Amino acid sequence: MVLVDTSVWISLYRQDKTDLGQKVWAVVTDNEAALCGQVWVEFVGGFKKEKDRHEYEQSLRIFPFLETTRSAFELAANFVAKYPRLGPGDAIIAATAIANEADLFTLDGDFKLLVSEGLRLF
């Protein structure tokens, strides 16, 4: 399973990188792409127009949803305390990936801090 981070969805939405779309498509076709609550909130919540938000909600519903457990939230809190540069949202995403034994597909370099903590980057 591959948890696709907000940074990837935003880049695809903005059409910043054409090769990125091919990588995401490969993950999607292999039925490996997944979302979590924090990614959903960050990406979908970024659309101020209800019509746009609804459109993206519908298109993202096809992906499995990884749950963020209490132990993942506890791990995220430890990450925030240990790595002040890492925001709470990113800490929750990383902890969710670790708790679900998923790789994280991200464009955000801050996640590299957590590889030594067990985060696997795609």
pLDDT one-digit tens code per residue, 7-31: 999 888 887 666 776 777 777 767 7
Q: How confident is the model at residue 106 (pLDDT cuts 50, 70, 90)?
A: very high
Residue-level pLDDT at 68: 98
Task: Look up residue 59 and give its two tokens.
Answer: 């298109």
β-strands 33-36, 65-66 pairing = parallel
Which structural domain, as residue segments, surrounds residue 57? Answer: 2-121
Residue-level pLDDT at 24: 74
Domain CATH code at residue 40: 3.40.50.1010
Q: Are 96 and 73 in contact (CB under 8 A)?
A: no
pLDDT one-digit tens code per residue, 49-103: 999 999 999 989 999 999 999 999 999 999 999 999 999 999 999 999 999 999 9
Q: CA nearest 68: which of 86, 88, 45, 92? A: 92
Q: CA nearest 110: which of 6, 1, 2? A: 6
Q: How many domains does the chain have?
A: 1
Average pLDDT on 93-114 reads 97
In this structure, the number of other CB atoms found within 10 A of the CB of residue 113 comes to 16
